[in-house]
A = this chain, B = another copy of it.
């Protein structure tokens, strides 16, 4: 695969090694000067990045770092590579959150998926680590539906919703990308090592953190921006009011991408954050995978009919028959003359209509009087 010049890649490897994922100083410097420019300034000791970083820079051997990664089956994808997902370039224009932001210097990637292709049509499915069985089931169902259509499910491999999102995609043999806060050679949480390996076998495991990097809060915050940035839209399945998934939601809004939320019982703490997103942060309420596809797909390509429930025999009646039926009382039976009066339909038509309604089982005749058969659409 053709790609970025080797010198640029090596400069970015070095920057990835010493800089913190999503550090604004770093991403802005690289955004302005490119990898080599930022690297040269650092080596020259005249970078706004700290002296400390510059000192450590001397010890970094990017070529050896790349080789070490290759030995682990990991590559470093940078802007300019064919594989670079240009969808991430929007991050240059999204407002910073928690002093993190910007286009990543590069992404460490493990797995056979081509990053640009996998992220051409992707949806993030994220949510609470303290997921309920309700949320877990839904995350899996939604992921299976969108991945079954060919959309890539992006998530963070965390316990709870993330886990079930990846699993749902894998279950249908669909594409999925796990974005980690630790290095791409590691697994956080450790108990998800086998899930992460499974994702790496068919899709991609991606990280902005250097090899061996540990999971820490700043890196989760930086990671969430990548999940949002890689996806056309983000579905939040369950989230308490302090869930990290709400951080991903903020990135989604900041990027102008489609934010979606799956509601749940109002007395469930893990749905409270989602309800808040729908109430006051513009999230679209979604209840199933097809609604997610309708929201993120090309306009009109996944248009759904509004749910209408089963067709009712009433729906097939002529206008006159329906007018007559609507005028037949529900509780006590009345004589035909009373129905004529309420329906505003000619007497002989009313009599014929009542016969048809009787045959259709929509009215009953009791001692010569008429009563409507119960129907649940009155309110």
| Chain B contacts for A214, CB-based, 8 A | 329-332, 334
Of A158, A284, A376, chain B has the most CB atoms within 10 Å of the CB of A376
Q: A244 vs B242: C-alpha distance in the bound complex, in angstroms? A: 37
Q: Which residues of B contact A220 (CB under 8 A)?
A: 378-379
Report the minimal beta-carbon distance from A140 to chain B, rounded to whole angstroms.
Answer: 13
Kindly list chain B residues whose C-beta atoms are within 8 Å of the C-beta of A244. Answer: 377-379
A241 touching B309 by the CB < 8 A rule?
yes
The smallest beta-carbon distance between A152 and chain B, in angstroms, is: 19
Cα distance A190–B284 in the bound complex, in angstroms: 41
How far apart are the CA atoms of A309 and B216 in the complex, in Å?
Answer: 22
**How many copies of this chain are found per oligomer?**
2
Distance to closest chain B CB from A124 (angstroms): 11
A275 CB within 8 Å of chain B: yes
Is the beta-carbon distance between B215 and A329 smaller than 8 angstroms?
yes
A255-290 interface (Cβ within 8 A of B): 262-266, 271-272, 275-276, 278-280, 284-288
Contacts of A54 in B (CB 8 A): none
Decide: A215 and B331 in contact? CB cutoff 8 A.
Answer: yes
Q: Does chain B have a CB within 8 A of A80?
A: no
| A245 CB–B CB distance under 8 Å | yes
Identify which of residues 188-226 in chain A touch chain B, using a CB-to-CB cut-off of 8 Å.
188-190, 214-218, 220-221, 224
* A114 adjacent to chain B (CB < 8 Å): no
Q: What chain B residues lie within 8 Å of A329 (beta carbons)?
A: 214-216
Other than A216-B327, A272-B287, give 18 A-B pairs with Cβ distance below 8 A: A181-B378, A189-B331, A216-B330, A218-B342, A224-B379, A241-B306, A242-B309, A242-B312, A245-B379, A246-B379, A247-B379, A263-B278, A263-B285, A275-B287, A278-B285, A279-B286, A279-B291, A280-B306
